[in-house]
Structure 1
Amino acid sequence: MSGLAIAPLSREHALDICAWRYDPPYSSYDMTGADPDWLLDPASGFHAVLSGDELVGFRSYGEDGRVPGWEYDDRALDTGGGLRPSLTGRGLGPVAVAVGLAHGRAAFAPPAFRVTVASFNARALRVVEGLGFSRVGRFASTHDGQDFEVLVRPEP
């Protein structure tokens, strides 16, 4: 797979993402209920992660990275994302997140980045901790009671 890049999300990308289904226990990340028009709305902050012309994932910046139940503030830019289900567990996470952080740094110049990760998702926690994020708290979502970890990485 060639180098990854962040690009604007197209309608084709949004429709593709809305069909993604993950194997349990990652099925909580399924995008099947998402509205493609919401993904395409610039206010939603979604971007494509591409390898050449191939959609391999997405990154989001802002509100989408927040989970109900934590008291978020503006001291960090929330970011989230996902990989195409068939590509998870193959070691692409660190590169995809790092490319997303570089884009977020260039586009938003935040003082820090913040991620909210499901507590069971050891793979994602390893990725973000390996990229310099530190855990700052844990909470249960007011949406479904699932436990989440909040991690922050200050920017220089």
Structure 2
Amino acid sequence: MAEQTFTFKVVPMEELHGAEICTWTYEPPYNIYGWLPWEQMKGLEVEFGDPAIRGQQYVSVLDDSGELCGFAQLFPIEGVTRLGIGMKPELCGRGRGPAFVAAIVQEALRRKPENEIDLEVLTWNTRAIRAYQKAGFTITDMYERQTPEGMKPFYCMVYQPDSDEDVNRPAQEQDTEDP
């Protein structure tokens, strides 16, 4: 059986996308990745509820039909682009993760090709870790960090393509697994 490929397009996040993302509900234990209601996000001007932050740091990830599949934050740190990644709950665990992550990596490289690309992931989130590894990320560190539920262990993962060829490999050619 041929491996299915997925293609994603990364675009600036629109307010409509932010509102939709705030309605997503994840099954436990992934429910920690939910957001406040959209009107509250906008009122408090937090994360993509703040038009300036949304415009500078957030992107939406669309499928071939233009449907919203997820989002990413490309957070700028000196010499590093730190990714925050979220996929639509009903798409998780369906083999789209590496292609999804690869599309986001390509956008990060387009914006700041000289930057290292990294991300943080809770150590228990093996589904996301597998997808990140298949997209070229390697675990480089483990540490505890404050979360709304207290201190939790995280991995830092750094994008380390095998070769220059992998950097330019189209997202739809990536292996399949989900964040």
Which TM-score applies when normalising by structure 1? 0.83
* Alpha-carbon distance between aligned partners in 1 of 2:117 and 2:99, rounded to the nearest angstrom: 16
- C-alpha displacement of 1:123: 0.9
Matched residue, 2:70: 57
Percent identity between matched residues is: 24
Indicate which of 29, 48, 65 corresponds to 1:39.
48
The letter for the 2-side match of 1:43 is I
- 1:89 and 2:93 aligned: yes
Q: Which structure 1 segments of 5+ residues have no match?
A: 64-72
**Could you tell me which amino acid in structure 2 is paired with residue 133 of structure 1?**
F
Instruction: Write the letter of the residue equivalent to 1:97.
Output: V
Q: Which amino acid aligns with 1:39?
A: F
RCO comparison, higher one (Cα < 8 Å, 6+): 2
Aligned-residue offset at 1:154: 4.3
Q: State the aligned residue count.
A: 147
Match of 2:158?
152
Separation (CA, whole Å) in 2 of partners of 1:124 and 1:43: 25
Select 1:17's aligned residue among 5, 21, 25.
Answer: 21
How large is the Cα RMSD of the aligned pairs?
2.2
Match of 2:116 in 1: 112
Pair 126,142 (structure 1): closer, same or farther in 2 beyond 3 Å: same
What is the letter of the counterpart of residue 147 of structure 1?
P
After superposition, give the CA deviation of every residue in 1:27-64 in whole Å (9 maximum; x if it has no partner): 1111235615541534351110001321010011016x
Larger Rg, first or second structure (1 or 2)? 2
Check if 1:48 corresponds to 2:31: no
Instruction: Answer whether contact 1:59 1:79 (CA < 8 A) is retained.
Output: yes
Letter in 1 for 2:48: L
Structure 1 counterpart SS, 2:136: coil
Aligned residue in 1 for 2:167: none
Segment drifting more, 139-148 vs 91-100: 139-148
Query: 1:80, CA displacement in angstroms?
Result: 1.6
TM-superposition CA deviations, 1:69-128 (whole Å, max 9, x none): xxxx63421012111011110011111100000011111213311010111100111111
Runs of 4+ in structure 1 deviating by more than 4 angstroms, as ranges, are none
Q: Which runs of no fewer than 5 residues in structure 2 stay unpaired?
A: 165-179
- Give the structure-2-normalised TM-score: 0.73
